[in-house]
Amino acid sequence: MKAAVYYKTGPPDVLRYEDVPDPTCGPGDVLIEVEAISIEGGDTLNRLGGAMTSTPHIVGYQCAGTIREVGDAVTDRDVGQRVVATMFSGSHAELVAVPALITWLVPDGADIVSIACVPIAFGTADDCLFEFGRLHGDESVLIQAGASGVGVAAIQLACHAGATVIATASSDERLERLYDLGLDVGINYSKPDWVDQVRAVTDGQGVDLAVDSVGGSVLTGSIQCLRYRGRAITVGRAGRDPEPLDASLLGMGNHSLTGVFLGAEIATGRAHRMIEHLITEVEVGRLKVVVDRTFPLSEAAAAHEYLESRQAVGRVVLVP
């Protein structure tokens, strides 16, 4: 099969498009012919400097396609079914073998590219807002990196819950594209006074909840945006800023900070049901997947570079 691989971590140009051996379908696995690959933020971080499970390494946490083989121990999946799957690595390829436990059926007639983008981004957003963020409809939420996959999902979910939604992005142009998703207030965090702007639009009180996928100095700012007893969620470090957090900031306003990683719960019944529900919401049109650009798998390096340029709104997708 063909795959986008690398032999060492680094910038996007370490990616190579090569022939590699087909994966083996184990007893509890399904073998999927990949039709759409959602590039996750974690994919770019892994390529930049993460662990390599093999040499060459095939990066990628999520894809969708058609089942071509079913392991002997699998009883709830059949050859020919379309599924979306998550995995620790391997999505950037024409074929992938994954445990059936972390696959979800693609509804008949649903757009497979859209469904390929659902589990990680929408599941992470749901957990950040509700399972760990405890957001209620009469509260306000700040969503950092609102134009990211998780940000686009979180804006919609928070809006549907009735919350006041404030989001940031790196440019006014990206923010403009978010208002149709339910955004109430957009703030350009490339401007130095963005914390003051958040507090100003909340009448100086601050937000009840901040969801931060950027980290570093932006996470510090997110905490400064909280109201008394406000909650902050840290979910990744897309900004790659190494600045450590001064935990004393939390005590000043009796704030709480929670780390969220969907991967730790992805195989639980709760998370599986939650993602299944989100897939249905996308299928019927109550939630929208925004795909900014699609690249062929052979141009994975260009796709990673584009995603890291912070021009995209929503997902960047690879198609084998």
Domain ranges across the chain: 2-117+289-319, 122-261
Given this model, what pLDDT does residue 242 score?
A: 73
**CATH code matching the domain that covers 122-261, chosen among 1.20.120.10, 2.60.40.1240, 3.40.50.300, 3.40.50.720:** 3.40.50.720
Show Cβ contacts of residue 241 under 8 Å, excluding neighbours closer than 6 positions: 214, 215, 216, 217, 218
CA dihedral 101, 104, 108, 111 (to 10 degrees): -140
* Average pLDDT of span 5-31: 98
CA dist 241 and 243 (Å) reads 6
* Average pLDDT of span 234-254: 84
Res. 210: pLDDT tops 80: yes
Res. 241: pLDDT tops 90: no
Residues facing 232 on adjacent strands: 210, 257
Res. 73: pLDDT tops 80: yes
What integer best gives the mean pLDDT of the chain? 96
φ and ψ at 208, to 5 degrees? -75, -35
Query: 113 vs 38, 180, 181, CA distance in Å?
Result: 8, 21, 19
CA dist 50 and 197 (Å) reads 35
CA dihedral 301, 88, 93, 307 (to 10 degrees): -30
- Answer whether 81's CB lies under 8 Å from 105's CB: yes
Question: pLDDT category, 240, cuts 50, 70, 90?
Answer: low
Please enumerate, as own/partner, the contacts of 192-201 that have beta carbons within 8 Å and a separation of 24 or more.
Answer: 194/168, 194/221, 195/221, 195/224, 195/225, 198/142, 198/166, 198/225, 199/225, 201/166
Nearest to 42 by CA among 219, 249, 262: 262
pTM of the full predicted structure?
0.96
How many CB atoms are closer than 10 A to CB 81?
Answer: 15
Show Cβ contacts of residue 129 under 8 Å, excluding neighbours closer than 6 positions: 135, 141, 154, 157, 158, 161, 209, 211
How many CB atoms are closer than 10 A to CB 267?
Answer: 12
CA dist 220 and 215 (Å) reads 8
Res. 41: pLDDT tops 80: yes
- Percent of the chain beyond pLDDT 70? 99
- Over its C-alpha atoms, the chain yields an Rg (Å, rounded) of 19
Nearest to 169 by CA among 142, 187, 194: 187
Q: What is the CATH number of domain 2-117+289-319?
A: 3.90.180.10
Given this model, what pLDDT does residue 236 score?
A: 83
Six-digit token string for 157: 């979910």
Nearest to 290 by CA among 306, 270, 314: 314
Nearest to 295 by CA among 39, 111, 42: 39
Res. 142: pLDDT tops 80: yes
CA dist 197 and 125 (Å) reads 24
